[in-house]
Amino acid sequence: MTEKHLAVKTPVVMTIAGSDSGGGAGIAADLKTFAALGVHGTCAITSVTAQNTTGVLETFDLAPEAVASQIEAVCSDMEVRWAKTGMLASSEIIREVAKEVRKHGLFLVVDPVMAAEAGGDLLRKEALSVLTEELLPFCRVTTPNASEAGALAGIAVKTSEDAERAARKIADLGVEAVIVTGGHLDATDLLYEAASDTFTRVRGTFVKGGTHGSGCTYSAALTAFLATGESLEGAARKAKEFVKQAILKSRPAGRGVSPVNQLGVILEKKERYLVLRELKEAVSILEDSPDFPELIPEVGCNLAMAIPEADNYQDVAAVEGRIVRKRGRTVPVGCVDFGASRHVAGIILSALRYKPEIKAAINVRYSEKVLAASREMKLGISFFDRAEEPENTGTMDWGTAEAIRKYGGVPKIIYDKSGSGKEPMIYLLGAGAVEVATLAVELAEKIR
C-alpha cells in the first residue's frame, strides 16, 4: 500500500460564513479554530466585510451562485460531513446554502449571526424568516446567544427561564438541538435536545480577555468536536472550555474589542516544552563542569526558567529537589518540572516585571571571589539586605525588586549577605537557562 493509503484521514469540516478583514471573527476565527483542534478546515465565503476591532464598517455580499460554487467545489472533492454557518446576510444566500446542505447531506451547525461583537448588523431583517423557515429545519444544532435566541423565538430572553422557552420554540422549527450560549446571561450555556425534551446546563464563569470572535469560535469548536465523534454534550463542554482559554489568551490587536486567541494554549504548550528542553541542556552543562560543584551552596542550588509572560510559580520550571554536591560532583536530585521551585522562581517572576527578556536564574554560594570575577567580567551587580525587608512581603520578590531599584535596571548578578540565619547567596540572571548555566561555569573556572 502507498503512504497515502496508510495515512489516517483527518476529518474535513466546512465553514460557510463571512470574512473579517480584521482577522478576529468569521472565516478567520473558524479556520484558526479548526486548525487548533486538528480537523481540516474548508470554507465558502458568503460576504466580505470591511471590519476591525471597533466594528463592521461595510459589507459586500457575494452572489448566491458564488457561494454555492464554493460549497460544490469542496464537497465534490472531499468527504465533508459536518459544516457550520455564520454570516448569511441575505435571503438569497440563505436559500442557496440550504439547497447545498440538502444536496450534499451535510450535518449542520447554525450560528445565527445577526450582529458583530464589536458592533454592526450582519443579517438583514427580511432574511430572518427565511433563516427560520428554510435553513434551521435542516440543521442538527443551532447556537444562538440570548439576543439571537430571542429574535428566532420571538420573545425576550433575559433569564434562564426565558432561554428554556426560547429553546423549545426554536426546536419547534425543526432543529434537533439548541444551545443558548450564556455569554450575555450568567455564563451558563443551555443545551436543549428536542428528541428527549431534555435540558442540560453547561456551567461556566466569566473570564477577563478579548471576546471578538468568541461566538464564531464556539460554533466552530462545537463543529470540530462533533466531527471527531464527540457526543453533543461532550462537544458542548469542550467547545465552551476552548473558548474560555481563547479569551484568557487573547491579546490586544486594535483600539476596540480584542480578538480571542484560538492558538494561545497550543503556543503555551510549545513554550513549556522548549523551556523543559533548554533546562535539561543547562543542567547537563552544570553536571559536566568539574569546577561548578564549588559554587553549590550548603542548602543546594536550583536552576529555573520561565515561559514568556509567566505570572505564577507554575509557569516556571526548575529541578525537583534542587541540585546538590555529592562526592565532588554536581547532582540534580530530581527531574526538571514546572512548579518545582519557589525560591529561584520568585526572583525570575519579580525580574521579568521589569525586563520581560529575563526568564532564567540560578543561585550559587556567596563568595567575594565570585563578585570580584563578576566585576572583572563587567557584569552588572546589585544586592539587597534582608534586615531592611518590610513585614508581610516575600523575600525574593521584595529583594529582587530592591536590588533592581538600587541598580536602576535588571543586573546580571544579585547578592544577599543574609545575616538572618540564612545562608548568604548570589543569584545569576539571564534570558535563558543555558546562558545562566554557562555563566555559572565560567565564574567557577575563574575562581578555581
Mean pLDDT, rounded, for 179-208: 91
Closest C-alpha to 363, from 290, 285, 277, 424: 424
- The pLDDT, as a whole number, for residue 418 is 73
Q: Please give the mean pLDDT across all residues of the chain.
A: 93
* Last residue within a domain, chosen from 234, 262, 290: 262
* Choice between 407 and 117, residue whose per-residue pLDDT is larger: 407
Which one-letter amino acid corresponds to residue 266? I
pTM: 0.89
Q: Report whether pLDDT(188) > 80.
A: yes
Give yes or no: residues 395 and 334 share one domain. yes
CATH code assigned at 365? 3.40.225.10
- The pLDDT, as a whole number, for residue 394 is 82
CB neighbours of 98 closer than 8 A, spacing ≥ 6? 134, 135, 138
Q: Report whether pLDDT(5) > 70.
A: no
Mean pLDDT, rounded, for 81-99: 96
pLDDT band of residue 417 (cuts 50, 70, 90) is confident
Q: Let me know the angle formed at the C-alpha of 394 by 389 and 397, rounded to the nearest 5 degrees.
A: 90
pLDDT band of residue 421 (cuts 50, 70, 90) is confident
Mean pLDDT, rounded, for 151-179: 94
In whole angstroms, give the CA distance from residue 350 to residue 358.
10
Give yes or no: residues 208 and 322 share one domain. no
By three-state DSSP, how is residue 120 classified? coil
Give yes or no: residues 442 and 332 share one domain. yes
218, 254 Cβ separation under 8 angstroms: no
H or E stretch covering 248: helix 232-248
Q: Report whether pLDDT(114) > 80.
A: yes
pLDDT in tens, 295-320: 999 999 999 999 999 999 999 999 99
* Choice between 187 and 11, residue whose per-residue pLDDT is larger: 11
Closest C-alpha to 68, from 86, 50, 44: 44
Q: Is residue 4 situated within a structural domain? A: no
Q: Report whether pLDDT(120) > 90.
A: no
Angle at which helices 146-153 and 160-171 cross, to 10°: 50
Q: Is residue 313 situated within a structural domain? A: yes
* Last residue within a domain, chosen from 262, 283, 318: 262
Q: Is residue 346 situated within a structural domain? A: yes
Q: Is residue 3 situated within a structural domain? A: no
301, 426 Cβ separation under 8 angstroms: no
- The pLDDT, as a whole number, for residue 330 is 97
Q: Is residue 17 situated within a structural domain? A: yes
pLDDT band of residue 1 (cuts 50, 70, 90) is very low
Mean pLDDT, rounded, for 215-239: 97
- The pLDDT, as a whole number, for residue 117 is 57
pLDDT in tens, 325-363: 999 999 999 999 999 999 999 999 999 999 999 999 999
CATH code assigned at 67? 3.40.1190.20
Mean pLDDT, rounded, for 195-211: 94
Closest C-alpha to 345, from 249, 419, 279: 279
pLDDT band of residue 184 (cuts 50, 70, 90) is low
Q: Report whether pLDDT(116) > 50.
A: yes
Q: Report whether pLDDT(115) > 80.
A: no
Q: Which residues form the domain of 440?
A: 267-447
pLDDT in tens, 277-286: 999 999 999 9
Q: How many domains does the chain have?
A: 2
